[in-house]
Structure 1
Amino acid sequence: MIFTKEGSLIIVSQEKNSIERFLENLENEYAKFKNDNLVLDLLSFSELTPYNVISFLEIARKHKKNGKSFVLVSDQVSYDDVPEEINLVPSLQEARDVVEMEEIERDLGL
């Protein structure tokens, strides 16, 4: 796993592993970044399915309950194919924008 910290945001990416292994590693390392906003870069996974994205639902719920943003980045799956609880965007810049908007909403108490 590759971790890139940008302020209160951590971008997590993976090379040469399966999506299942990526999720397993994320769950094992979760305590290290539970207090940061998370962006999971799934762009390197060429055969991603809606089912793969939905497998992140439990950790997304837990992270949002913690008051932090959780955003997945993939251009392989449409956001229409996953539950509303999962923030799914096609680019890293859009993920940064979502995190910024959610930070503003939390600051305003919305």
Structure 2
Amino acid sequence: MSDVADAMKRMQAKFNPPAAAGLDLVFGFNVTDGDAHYSLVVKDGVCQLQEGENPDANCTFVLDSATLKDIVSGETDTMQAFMGGKMRVEGDMMLSHKLSELFSA
């Protein structure tokens, strides 16, 4: 399993179902160094990890694998990564703030 796939599985394991009650969202992840695409599909308290680009993503994080690992480990958060120029967000930027709520460290 690749480091990116492992990081995505660790993020999925941190999913907080009560925070997702009534939500129907798709978070996309475009990991630029390795050209990996994943998505976390959150619907009614359940989170599924999917490999590949998801055209239905409400919000896509474009970042490198080191930044992804730092977010998953809790060393940084999406706001710090965004403000530091290590990540960009495509789509609904307001939903990017939900990531830390739904996948707590």
The two structures share one fold, judged by TM-score above 0.5: no
Choose between structure 1 and 2: higher helix proportion. Answer: 1
TM-score band w.r.t. shorter chain: 0.3 to 0.5
TM-score norm. by structure 1 comes to: 0.33
Choose between structure 1 and 2: higher strand proportion. Answer: 2
TM-score norm. by structure 2 comes to: 0.34
